[in-house]
């Protein structure tokens, strides 16, 4: 069963490895990231951060879409992680198996300013978005999934649509 898909630019880190993996009871973590899949150093770092209780895969977005087409995916409790709102939208549109819900966690602290000078706006303590990223998340909301902002399981989940306005 595909438990959750989470937008978190850091992919696997302490909150995911310890808190979210236990809270959701997953046995698999899949990172859908073209950048991480193409960089052996990032892959090794993510694998070191992954909990020993979960089999972990770091694949490109295309590879993850194909991987989830395999009927064996339904036999596992999966937490999928992605790095960008655009990848989240693509995954939700193209995955054959759909998640129970969508979690937006930590996003936007890295590179708060673009080369053209545009800045990310603050929507929550750990959620910063450029206008195009906000529009991608609004498209996610339009798909009808239960979509929340919640950095850790202990935090009170907030409906993403209320934060984005």
| Residues tagged active-site | 13
* H helix or E strand, kind and range, residue 55: strand 55-59
Q: 3-state SS of 75-143?
A: HCCEEEEECCHHHHHHHHHHCCCCCCEEEECCECCCCCECCCCCECEEEECCEEECHHHHHHHHHHHHC
Q: Is the dihedral of CA 10, 70, 77, 147 positive or negative?
A: positive
């Amino acid at each position: 069963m595909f438990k959750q898909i989470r937008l978190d630019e850091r992919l696997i880190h302490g909150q995911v490895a310890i808190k979210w993996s236990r809270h959701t009871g997953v046995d698999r973590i899949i990172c859908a990231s073209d950048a991480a899949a193409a960089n052996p150093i990032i892959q090794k770092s993510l694998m070191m951060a992954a909990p020993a209780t979960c089999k972990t895969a770091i694949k490109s977005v295309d590879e993850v879409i194909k991987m989830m087409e395999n009927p064996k995916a339904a036999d596992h409790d999966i937490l999928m992680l992605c790095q960008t709102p655009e990848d989240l939208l693509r995954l939700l549109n193209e995955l054959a198996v759909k998640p129970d819900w969508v979690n937006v966690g930590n996003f936007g602290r890295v590179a708060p300013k673009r080369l053209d000078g545009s800045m990310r706006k603050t929507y929550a303590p750990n959620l910063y978005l450029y206008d195009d990223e906000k529009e991608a998340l609004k498209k996610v909301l339009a798909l009808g999934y239960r979509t929340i902002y919640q950095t850790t399981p202990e935090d009170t989940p907030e409906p993403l649509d209320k934060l984005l306005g």
